[in-house]
Amino acid sequence: MRARVGYAGPRPARGVAGTPSAGGEALRVASWGFRVRPGEALRVASWGFRVRPGEGTPSPRLDFTATSRRGHDWRRMAKLPDLVRVLDAAYAVDRAERPWLFGIVEALRPALEGGLGMAAYVYDASTRPFVVREPILDCPLDAEGLGRLFAQSDESYVRGAWLSRAAATASETPGYADHPGVRDVFWPLGIRDVLVVNALDPVGVGCLIGAPLPTLRTLRDDERDLWDRVASHLRSALRLRLRLASLEGRRPESAAASLSDGTSGAVEAVLRRDGALEHAEDVAIGAREALREAVLGMDRARRALRSRPRRVLSAWRALVRGRWTLVDDFEREGSRYLVARANGPAARGPTLLSTRERQVLEQLVLGHTDKLVAYELGLSHSTVRVLVARARAKLGAKTRAELIEKFRAATTRG
């Protein structure tokens, strides 16, 4: 949306609903420019102006709604996130944990913050209550309040709030309104809801970014899809950080962070910014073209697609062929190089299943859709459906729910 504004004198501007300000000034819209998807209609819902006597050009506020034939509601599109900045912050994996987390918070703040600040923490979900490391609480909530919230959450609430969704608002969790921590901790602080981007890896370590909200809210499908994909990148980056700590001989912060499945974070390919392969281990040679396309996709996201968040996420995938994460690594003779590090998700569970089938089911246990699993692993949607069907046959599950429960039980026993 673009608007150029100017004064129209002491009377309301033609075609603009409203009244002049206290100083007798009204706002005239000189020109508008909108980008609306085919089949959508734009409707101006309300105007608001803030003009103080003696001040110059007023500050306009516009509330608009764009509705499509499919019924999508594209409100607040003036707050499009800069996802290139977000992903660059996420994949700055060589930074210490707190600066790394703070960089992600600041990159997400313009799009997520709802007037009550931001919060973020890395947590270990393998213990109760959670182990939280150095939370960033730039909001009314403090560390004591966060601890009380965890302590008052039973297993059912933990599963619904932290272990089953990547992107959601807290009020969407079953039992939210009756949760004692919500009543005792959130409400006295004016927090009615929290918009959450939650990146939980199947091994039990997660990274949560939250924006406290003064009113209740439910995510729309298009919002949820976008933030689900962002969470996929945060999950990939967090997993790589844990693996690099192991490679460098630093002890992981928790037992759950020990990812000893063979994908160690080691460099398996080196590529130039134009996608040319400079070096590849044997395991990566057959993926030459996939790696090249992934590098070029990242470049398109940075250059041509930056103003289109969904296109950025389509071009820049969290994993290549379920195994590699691409990160900027070094510069030589004036050229930047990217490295492909082995960073596939852990493949726990019954050995009856293939590695890829186990990786897919680990994602389903976390409540992810087939579509999100495909994005997460860098696979096609059809491939994920085939893998799910094979796993059902091998485990003798009649339904998807039964498949998930059987896999969860077998993984727990293992």
Mean pLDDT for the stretch of residues 30-46: 45
The pLDDT tens digits for 290-302 are: 999 999 999 999 9
Q: In this structure, what DSSP letter does residue 369 have? A: -
239 pLDDT more than 80: yes
The pLDDT tens digits for 145-167 are: 999 999 999 999 999 999 988 99
**Structure confidence at residue 263 as a pLDDT band (50, 70, 90):** low
Do 269 and 257 meet the contact criterion of CB atoms below 8 Å apart? no
DSSP element (H, E) containing 43: strand 41-50
Q: In this structure, what DSSP letter does residue 67 have? A: E
Full set of structural domains in the chain with CATH: 2-78 (no CATH), 80-244 (3.30.450.40), 261-342 (no CATH), 355-413 (1.10.10.10)
Do 376 and 322 meet the contact criterion of CB atoms below 8 Å apart? no
Q: How many CB atoms lie within 10 A of CB 102?
A: 17
Q: Which residue would you say has higher pLDDT here, 253 or 93? A: 93
Q: How would DSSP label each residue in 131-173? A: EEEEEEEESS--HHHHHHHHHT--HHHHHHHTSS-SEEEGGGS
Task: Tell the burial category of 30 from Cβ atoms under 10 Å away from its Cβ (0-12, 13-18, 19+).
Answer: exposed
**Of the candidates 141, 140, 217, 316, which has an alpha carbon nearest to the alpha carbon of residue 132?**
141
The pLDDT tens digits for 341-400 are: 999 998 888 999 999 999 999 999 988 999 999 999 999 999 999 999 999 999 999 999
Q: Which residue would you say has higher pLDDT here, 103 or 17? A: 103
Q: In this structure, what DSSP letter does residue 189 have? A: G
Min mean pLDDT across 22-31, 84-93, 379-388 is at 22-31
Mean pLDDT for the stretch of residues 33-40: 47
- The amino acid sitting at 351 is T
224 pLDDT more than 90: yes
At 26 the pLDDT is 43
Cα torsion angle, 99, 167, 232, 241, sign? positive
74 pLDDT more than 70: no
